[in-house]
Each structure stands twice: as structure tokens, then as C-alpha cells.
Amino acid sequence: MVGIVIVSHSRLLAEGVRELALQMVPDYISLAIAAGIDDVDDHQLGTDVLQVQAAIESVYGDGGVLVLMDLGSALMSAEMALELLPEEKRHNVYLCEAPLVEGAIAATISAAAGNDLSQVIAEARAALAAKGSQLGVVSSSLLIADKNQLPPVDDAPVLEIRLRVSNKLGLHARPAAKFVATAAKFESQVKVKNITRSTVFVRANSINQVTMLGVRHGHELAITASGTDAEAALAAMKELVESHFGEDETAIWQPGDGDTRPYRSSVTSDLRGISASPGVAIAPSVLYINTPLPRYQLPTAPLQQYHVENSENEWQRLQNTIQAAHQEIEILLSETSTQIGDNEAAIFDAHLLFLEDPLVLEALQQHIFVEHLNAVAAWQAVVDELANQYRTQEDMYLRARAADVMDVGQRVLRLLAGIAATSLSFTEPVILIATDLTPSDTAKLDPANVLGICTTSGSPTSHTAIIARSLGIPAVVGVPESLLQVADGTMVALDGETGNVWIEPDAEIIASLTTKREAWQSSQHQATINVHQLAISLDGRQIEVLANIGGVADAQIALGLGAEGVGLLRTEFLFLDRMAPPSESEQYEVYHAIAQIFPNQPVIIRTLDIGGDKPLPYLNLPQENNPFLGWRGIRFCLSRDELFKIQLRAILRASTSGKFKIMFPMISTVTELQAAKLIFREVQTELRQAKIPFDEKIDIGIMIEVPSAVVIADQLAPKVDFFSIGTNDLSQYVMACDRTNPQVADLADAFHPAVLRMVQQTIKAGHAAGIKIGMCGELASDPFAAPILLGLGLDDVSLNPQAIPNFKSAISHLTVPEAEAIAFEALNLDSAAKVRSLISTFSYL
Ligand code: PEP
Ligand code: MG
């Protein structure tokens, strides 16, 4: 059985929660409390790590332990207690973010029912849903109350306004979502009808009813409100409609985008995009619609309908599942909005509102409590009915919404069936087509079956492109949108070097691409023959060649491809694609495992570089207009130092097993560097006091990727042991081009002399201070950059593992004076195109 531990500052509170929880179950379950400090009778507030540890040990069994905490230091105490547990137990103890009282009760009931730890966690997490539903607060995160459930206020007059909708596409996904959310903020009952279409009044807080009004450009609405704040409600609705729902008319979501895309046979011409990862691929295409359950993975088993006795349980199960679906969509929404754009993300706002729609919830209650249907059948019935209503609409836009309803419907059914979200896995070779892929989507791709990637968004320096390169998957990004109309299974060819894409290529094109692919594979093969040789120029100058990695698997690949260590461990990848940050011990395991792969070679661990195009949904980072100019990298870590310290502790603890170096990202001022070093010293002191060994001589370095850091490189250099130049960010900041924006990808070119001069300036300042200068930006992974980098005097480079053989081969064909001459000439050219043309004349590959 799962054991439960309540950690609270107050012993009285913890005892009360225990009493309440145990009353819910017939038999005693293993439930311990750790609360208050000092003498029990004093009721002194606080939490004690050892008490928490003892409580966990006291209820520990094979089923594992769920720990619920009240707040603040209770969390820290629980985390530290976890660290004190023996390794084998630690993995079976879960610190849960669920609300203390509701969570404890739900978890106790679930544990007493004999559920396993994952089910108990799920119950505890979803514990607020039932309360929310009872109070009519359907979403704890949005706090939208369905006031229309309340009886009408007797004497309150019904106020009415009439408004004309002037935005181009009427109430499409995003405006409809805003309309519903605004209406739901008020106590008053707000209703709306489409006068132009002569509809009846419907509830303004129901996304489905509002959408089905079919409001288009120029339609007139009547909006009524009755209740205490009716005037304010109507004023808010008026402002919303008159401000065109805050929409930029040029960038609105188009009907039909993102869901159903019929094949149009007219798409036969070649398409041109931006090369993002070299290589040639020819294979049938698969369109990945960035929805959670791609077409080819829908569960096909028939749904079971049966009579349930305990409707309350069934309702609770459905509520919990809806809550879980809500969480999944929120993550998807936040990823989409940061990585693709708010307009594309708006569709997921509508998905969330669908889950919260009071009409949907009422219909479900009817099926479950009155008809005693099981949750799956009830859900299916409501989804089918709604989807059919949309399908039978005359309006094409409304008909297309059926796909959204089905999408949300399938998600909940999958969760009810206990099926985890599927990743993008294929059993046959494919070329993956998408608007964009998230870094975590891309990271999960298997190069054995995903032969190529083709996206309409993205840029060569986006993390998606970087990962594609490190996976060795040819990729073209920024391809025109007509690509998305290609039917699944159509033969597609792409050349990741030129950015060309062919739909149904003819035999001649296939033959020439096949020749190119073979030549490419053979040059790759040739280079890999000597992978373990060092990168030494013809006249004897060596550049250390390290690898950019995201985890243990990459480290192993890098070793095989001749990496002489790790020049950049992007630790943020350990934090992506999960519901909570990795604990100190989880991080320790990864760092330790990498040290085992490179025991005597340098391993540069970059501290968390989150933000930009790598958001972490569970950290609730605020939406930013310019995430790349915002709260990312070291800026985030300095203000969230609890997370930073855990990471530094993990790195330091693992440092005894390898030759680690620590690198701070996004340093833009001396003050930031000093602050980061101060926190680092604090962690060192704590470890010393706790007698935990670590490498006392560990090197500290920084990334040079912000222009200000280049300019003050002479001030920064004496304070660190090394610099590593990050040309991906440096190019975007120097050239003022968002690295994920295909429109400006050509401009954000690290070969531009403006960027190369920054590289030169950094190397000079670093060498003047006697420190080593490396480069881990993507420029170094381009083998054509090798002469410039050798000529500018870099000491080491850190590359995508796949690029290592070619880089070594390039260096071995050069002399330093020759490279210096090339670098000198490149720096004096006036465009990236001229630099590329200069270096393309050197055939050292
Ligand atoms: C860089 O900016 O060049 C770099 C290596 O860091 P990242 O790509 O992870 O931002
Ligand atoms: Mg960077």
C-alpha cells in the first residue's frame, strides 16, 4: 500500500488533516505527519528535515510514499529529507504539489482502495477539481466562474447592447475564447445572440454555444446582462468587441489551418526553404499536426458502455481526467505560443474552454447521474453530439471546428484509458512535415525512421534545427505553407544543404539526389575513419574538439564520433518535457553518468539556460513579448536561486568523478557574473560544512553570447577560467534577428563579418588575460568555418557530435598562416554571402 506523509509548519494543522483524511476510509492506512519543531507541546511553527525523513521511513513500503506539504520551507525540508534517504528508497517517494487538505483526503481514499503510487498521485493532483465543480468554478487556473448557473436575480433588469463585429474573420478561435472568458468574469448572467443570423440567445460563457452562433465579419450581436454588475459586464463586452478583440488583422488565424488539410493535387512544384541540417532524404511524407494525438495514433478499440452504480465515483474519475487533459493542453498552449506564436496557440485556448464549457459539464452530469452511464460512454456521447452539431453547420469554418472537438475528445478518452501521450514514433521511414516542431518533439525523433524534417517555420539556429543536426537528420525549415497540403504518403525529397524540397520528384531528380546522398554519406564515412585522430593543422597547431550534448545518450554518441570531451552540456534538456524540475539526485545521476563516459576529459556543464525558445511550463514563467530579450539564462537563475543552487550542488557532488567545468549562460554584465559566483561559493561552503566532497579546483567559465559581454570581455576575462563563444545567440543579438524567425534567418548569419569581428574581439581579450577561448555556437559545426576559426586563434571548439569528423578533417588540411590569411580577408569583407563565397573555394573536405 502507498504510504502518505503530511508535512506542515503547524502540528495542529497536520493532525487535523490526518483526522479528516482517516475519517474517509474504513481501515487504517499508513499516514504519518511531520510538523512543527521543538517540543510538541509548544506547537512551535516550522519544519524539520530529520522529522520528515523519519516520517517517510515510518510509512515506507513497497508501494512507495506520497508526501504532501503545506508551503515554503516545508518543501525544502521535504526535498532535503529525500536526499537523506537511501538511494533505493528515494525513487519510490514522491513529493506532490497537490493542495494539502484536498490532496491528503483524495490520496488517502485512493491509497486505501489499493491504488498504486501513480494513481494516488493523480488523485491527489486532481483533488481541487471536485471542489471547483461543486462551486461552479470550473478551472482553478483561469478562475472562471459559471455564474449563469445561478438563478436569475429577481429584480435585476436585463440590460442589452447591440454591437457589430468588425474583425475580418469574426468570432474565430481566439476572439471567441476572449469573448467567453470576458463574459465569465462577471457575476451577472451574460447572454448573446447573432441578430444577423437570427439565432436565439445563448450563454456567453459557453465556448461551444458562442462558436455556433457563426459570427462573421459585419454580423450584429445583441448582448444582454442581468445581475449586480450587469453594466460593467456590458461595458467590458463592448470594449472587447470594439477593440477587435485586440487582434492584429494581418496575422489572424485562418479557418482550416491547423486541422484538416485536404490534399490538393496542384502541389507538384519544387519548394524552397532554408537549409537547417545537411544531407539528402527521399521518403514518403507524414504531416504532423501539432495536436497531441496524431491521426495515425488514435486508439481504435470500440468504446464500452455500461451501467454504473456509484455515479459519484464515475463523475470524480471523469473530473480528474478532464483536469489532467487541461494540464496537457496548457503545456501545449504555452509551448505553441512561445515557439510558434500566439495566433497558432489560440486554438488550444479554445480546447481549454471546451473542457470548461458549463454546457458540456451539464450534459456529462446528466449522462452520469441520471442515466448512470460510465465515464467513457458519457464523454463519448457528449463529444459525438457536439461534433455532429458542428459538422452539420452550413458555415465551412464551423464545420471545421468538429475536428477540434474530436481532438479534445480523443485526448480525454486516451487519458481515461490510461494511455500516456505518444511521442512521434514511426515504424517506416518518413519525411516529417510540420509547421514547426518543439525542441522536445525533435529530441525524441528516431533518425532511423525520420529521414528528413521539413517545416514551414523555424530557422537554422533554432534549437529544433540544432537537435536535427545533432541527430544527423537532414532538415529544411521556412518552407512555404503549401507544403502542409501534401497528403500523407506522398513521396518527398529534400536537400538539407540547398534548402530545396521536391514533392513527388521524378526519376531524374531522384537519381541525382541519390548520387548526392551517396557522395555525402561517403564523405561522412571517410571522415569517420579517422575520428579518433586529433584536430592538428599541417603545421602542428592543435584545436581541442569537444561535443555539444543534451544528455547521456548524446555523450555516448559523441565519444564514438571522436569527441575529446564535452564543451557544452545543455542542462536545460534535463528540465524539459516533464511536470517538475529534476531533483538534485536525478541531476547528479546524469552528470555522474556523463563523467563515466569522459572520465579524464573536460566536461563543461552549462547551468540552466531556460527561457527564449526553451520555456518550462511548470515554472510558470510570465509571457514575454520578446522572450529572447527577457528573463532567460543566468537572469532567471539569479532570481530563482533555489533551483540554481540545487543544480550547482548536483554538479559539484558529481565533480569528483570527472574533470568538470561550470559555465554560466547569457552573462551580460560583470555584476551578473559576480552574483553567480557568489551563489556558487555559498554552495561550496555548504558542501564543505556537510563534509560532502567535490572538486575544489573546478574551473568557472562563461558563455560569450551577448554583445555587451564581447564589449567588456577584457573586464570579464580576469574573473573566469575560460570563455565559450555562443554564436547562435551572439548572431541574433548582433544582427537584431530572432533566431527562430525564418523571415530574418538569412540576416542572422554567423558568417557575417559583424559577428566574426565580435568573435575576434573576444578571442583577443581572452588571450590578453591568459584564458582559453572556445566556441560552442553552431558556427563551429560548419566545416567551412574551420579556416576562419583556426585563423582567429580559437583554442577549442564544441560541435554537434555529427560535425566532429569533418571539422577534424578540415583542420588537418590547413596551415595556420593560410587560415590567418583567410580569416583576415573574411573580416574585411562586407557581407556574409561574400564570406561564404570566399570559404567555399577551399576544398578541404
Ligand atoms: C549559443 O547561443 O551559441 C549556444 C551555444 O547556446 P544555445 O544555442 O543553447 O542558446
Ligand atoms: Mg545561447
Q: Report which of 175, 248, 617 is spatially closest to residue 440, judged by C-alpha positions.
A: 617
Calculate the alpha carbon distances from 733 to 194, 340, 349, 623 in Å: 48, 20, 32, 20
Q: What is the mean pLDDT of residues 748-755?
A: 95
Highest mean pLDDT among 171-175, 273-277, 291-295: 273-277
pLDDT at 109: 80
Q: Which residue puts its alpha carbon closest to atom 8 of ligand 1?
A: 728
224-281: per-residue pLDDT in tens? Answer: 999 899 999 999 999 999 888 876 543 332 322 222 222 222 333 378 888 888 889 9
Question: Which of 613, 663, 776 for mutating ligand 1's site (highest number of atoms within 8 Å of CB)?
Answer: 776
- The grid coordinates listed for 410 are 480523443
DSSP state of 496: T
Q: Coil, helix or strand for 698?
A: coil
Residue 810 has pLDDT above 80, yes or no: yes
In this prediction, residue 218 has a pLDDT band, given cuts at 50, 70 and 90, of confident
Considering only residues 422 and 759, tell me which one the structure prediction assigns the higher pLDDT: 759
363-372: per-residue pLDDT in tens? Answer: 999 899 988 9
Burial of residue 304 (number of CB atoms within 10 Å: 0-12, 13-18, 19+): exposed
Angle at 356 between CA 350 and CA 360, to 5 degrees: 100
pLDDT at 43: 58
Q: What is the mean pLDDT of residues 756-760?
A: 98
pLDDT at 39: 52
H runs (alpha helix) in 169-206: 173-184
What is the DSSP pairing of strand 659-664 with strand 699-704? parallel
Q: Report which of 291, 419, 267 is spatially closest to residue 347, judged by C-alpha positions.
A: 291
Residue 2 has pLDDT above 50, yes or no: yes
In this prediction, residue 56 has a pLDDT band, given cuts at 50, 70 and 90, of very high
pLDDT at 289: 66
Concatenated DSSP letters of 222-276: EEEEESTTHHHHHHHHHHHHHTGGG--GGGPPPTTTTS-----TT--S-EE-EEE
What DSSP element (H or E) covers 661? strand 659-664
Specify the amino acid at residue 413. L
Q: Which residue puts its alpha carbon closest to atom 6 of ligand 1?
A: 726
What DSSP element (H or E) covers 284? strand 280-288
Plot region of 245 (φ>0 → left; ψ -120 to 50 → alpha; else → beta):
left
Taking the C-alpha atoms of residue 111 and residue 195, their distance in angstroms, rounded to an integer, is 54
Owner of C-alpha cell 565580435: 758
The answer to whether 776 is a known catalytic residue is yes
Q: Report which of 107, 213, 219 is spatially closest to residue 165, judged by C-alpha positions.
A: 219
Q: Which ligand is nearest to the CA of 460?
A: 1
Q: Which residue puts its alpha carbon closest to atom 1 of ligand 1?
A: 726
Taking the C-alpha atoms of residue 845 and residue 527, their distance in angstroms, rounded to an integer, is 9
Q: What is the mean pLDDT of residues 504-520?
A: 87
Question: Which of 464, 572, 705 for mutating ligand 1's site (highest number of atoms within 8 Å of CB)?
Answer: 705
Residue 586 has pLDDT above 70, yes or no: yes
Q: Give residue 607's Cα distance to chain centre.
A: 18
Specify the amino acid at residue 118. S
Taking the C-alpha atoms of residue 455 and residue 631, their distance in angstroms, rounded to an integer, is 28
Contact 217, 143 (CB under 8 A): no
Instruction: Calculate what percentage of the chain has a pLDDT beyond 90.
Output: 44
475-510: per-residue pLDDT in tens? Answer: 998 888 788 888 889 999 999 888 889 999 989 899
Q: Which residue puts its alpha carbon closest to atom 9 of ligand 1?
A: 570
Residues 6+ apart with CB under 8 A from 681: none
Ligand 1 atom having least distance to the Cα of 729: 2
Taking the C-alpha atoms of residue 805 and residue 783, their distance in angstroms, rounded to an integer, is 9
- Give the Å distance between the CA of 755 and the centre of ligand 1: 14
Q: What is the mean pLDDT of residues 178-189?
A: 88
Question: Which of 469, 548, 549, 728 for mutating ligand 1's site (highest number of atoms within 8 Å of CB)?
Answer: 728
Q: Which residue puts its alpha carbon closest to atom 3 of ligand 1?
A: 726
Instruction: Calculate what percentage of the chain has a pLDDT beyond 70.
Output: 84
31-44: per-residue pLDDT in tens? Answer: 999 998 765 455 57
- Give the Å distance between the CA of 748 and the centre of ligand 2: 14
- Give the Å distance between the CA of 8 and the centre of ligand 1: 42
DSSP state of 369: I
Q: Which ligand is nearest to the CA of 606?
A: 1
306-353: per-residue pLDDT in tens? Answer: 888 899 999 999 999 999 989 888 887 776 566 545 555 666 788 888
- Give the Å distance between the CA of 235 and the centre of ligand 1: 47
The answer to whether 463 is a known catalytic residue is yes
- Give the Å distance between the CA of 260 and the centre of ligand 1: 36
Q: Which of 17-26, 46-55, 127-136, 405-414 has the lowest mean pLDDT?
A: 127-136
Residues at CB less than 6 angstroms from ligand 1: 568, 570, 609, 705, 726-729, 776-777
- Give the Å distance between the CA of 679 and the centre of ligand 2: 21
Q: Could you tell me the pTM of the whole model?
A: 0.51
Taking the C-alpha atoms of residue 742 and residue 47, their distance in angstroms, rounded to an integer, is 52
Considering only residues 126 and 92, tell me which one the structure prediction assigns the higher pLDDT: 92
Residues 6+ apart with CB under 8 A from 580: 97, 618
Owner of C-alpha cell 490520496: 107
588-615: per-residue pLDDT in tens? Answer: 999 999 999 999 999 999 999 988 766 6
Spell out which residues have Cβ within 5 A of ligand 2, the ion: 705, 726, 729
Contact 841, 826 (CB under 8 A): no
First-to-last C-alpha distance (Å) of the chain: 62
pLDDT at 824: 95
Concatenated DSSP letters of 513-579: HHHHHHHHHHHHHHHHHTTTS-EE-TTS-EEEEEEEESSHHHHHHHHHTT--SEEEEETHHHHSSSS
